[in-house]
Amino acid sequence: MPSNPHASYIAPNPARETGFLGSGNKPGVMLGSKYELGGSRLIASSVDRGWGSSVAAEVRRHEDLHCTAFVQQVNEVIIALSGFAKIRRRADGPEQKFLSRPGSACICPRGVAVKYLHIHSGSLDMLHLYLPQNLFGNLESSDSSSVDSGLMYTGGFFDPLVQHIGLAIAEELQAEHSAGRIVLDSLALALAARMLQHYTRQVPGNVSGSYIDGKAAGALDHARLNRVLEFMYQNLGNDVTLEELAGVACLSIYHFARAFKLATGSAPVQYFTDLRVARAKSLLTDPSITVEDVAFSTGFSSGPNFARAFKKSVGLSPTQYRSQH
């Protein structure tokens, strides 16, 4: 992240509720409305980024935030990007009180009744990630009337992986990369997996380890793998999601991501990125095709976005690569 992580962020728009997020709110409800009412300022949002169902994100500045009682409507992970401030919050257990600084994180699970939330004595820029409940698979209760997600209500912890994922998602608010929405799907899946691994509590009726689909033991069979690869090749110019790839394989997202990597040695996002770059290299050897046409053919919205992503992957700009090949 740059020294001023918000200098080039998109114009702020509030992240809003969608049916994918499963909060029970009507579509169009602002996900961070409790913060808005409590006095925070919205800096950036993913609402117009076309991220689909993988994750919604907001960057908010909290300087003197005071939220009264509310029931959390969606699984939320919050990561401090910059600044220092004191946080006091409480749900059913004892008060959680800590100094938040860059990298510190909090979890507020769906269904938790929060009594109060105060951020004071400083200023914090925080990334708020709203995760769809179906991303967690069996983590969600099988009882449709239950809102218990199984996540812990905890705050002020430091987890390098959670911080890394958060910074990567924050970077996605600023720049388009070579794999489009599949990057967000993979980051959201990695975050969900980390939540499953370290931040779940025992939910009545579940036993330890029952959250993860027991079928996810081996690699994709040849038939499924061929279907997925064919789908990738046919959609190199489109914004493919991890959910779509898993659907082609007829597997859950979590099972698919693990099985695909076992079969190919690469995560789906990396494999798809490599295919796009390979297609771009091939097209660039034809001087009759403009760089803008290459960008369009490999799924980028503009030549500059394509040039940045290509150089990051290959080490050369598209023009430099063309001149050498």
The domain ranges of the chain are 19-198, 222-324
Closest by Cα among 114, 201, 194, 101 to 149: 201
Q: Determine the residue type at 165.
A: I
**How high is the pLDDT of residue 132?**
75
Topology of domain 19-198, CATH: Jelly Rolls (2.60.120)
> What is the rounded distance in angstroms from the CA atom of residue 309 to the CA atom of residue 1?
16
Q: Residue 325: count other Cβ atoms within 10 Å of its Cβ.
A: 10
- In the numeric block, which tokens belong to residue 305? 């976005």
Structure tokens at 9: 């962020």
Number of DSSP helices (H) and strands (E) in the chain, helices first: 10, 10
- Residue 272's φ and ψ, nearest 5 degrees, are -65, -40
Half-sphere exposure of 154 (CA within 13 A, CB side): 13
Q: Which residue has the tokens 């800096």?
A: 43
pTM (global) more than 0.75: no
Confirm whether 19-198 and 222-324 share one CATH topology.
no
Interacting residues of 295 by C-beta distance below 8 A, sequence separation 6+: 301, 302, 303, 305, 306, 307
- What is the model's pLDDT at position 16? 62
Overall fold of domain 222-324? Arc Repressor Mutant, subunit A (1.10.10)
Say how far apart CA 16 and CA 100 lie, in whole Å.
26
68: its two tokens = 């009264």
Let me know: does 124 contact 85? Beta carbons within 8 Å: yes
In this structure, what token pair is assigned to residue 224? 């499924």
- C-alpha to C-alpha distance for 130 and 58, rounded to whole angstroms: 9
Q: What is the pLDDT along the chain (325 residues), one digit of tens a residue?
A: 444 433 333 334 566 655 445 444 445 556 788 898 888 999 888 877 777 667 888 899 999 999 989 888 888 999 999 999 999 999 988 888 889 989 999 999 888 899 999 999 999 999 999 987 655 543 444 343 445 567 888 888 888 899 999 999 988 877 765 556 777 888 888 888 888 778 876 433 333 332 233 333 477 887 888 888 888 887 887 878 888 898 888 888 878 888 888 888 888 888 888 888 888 888 888 888 888 888 888 877 677 878 888 888 888 888 888 888 7
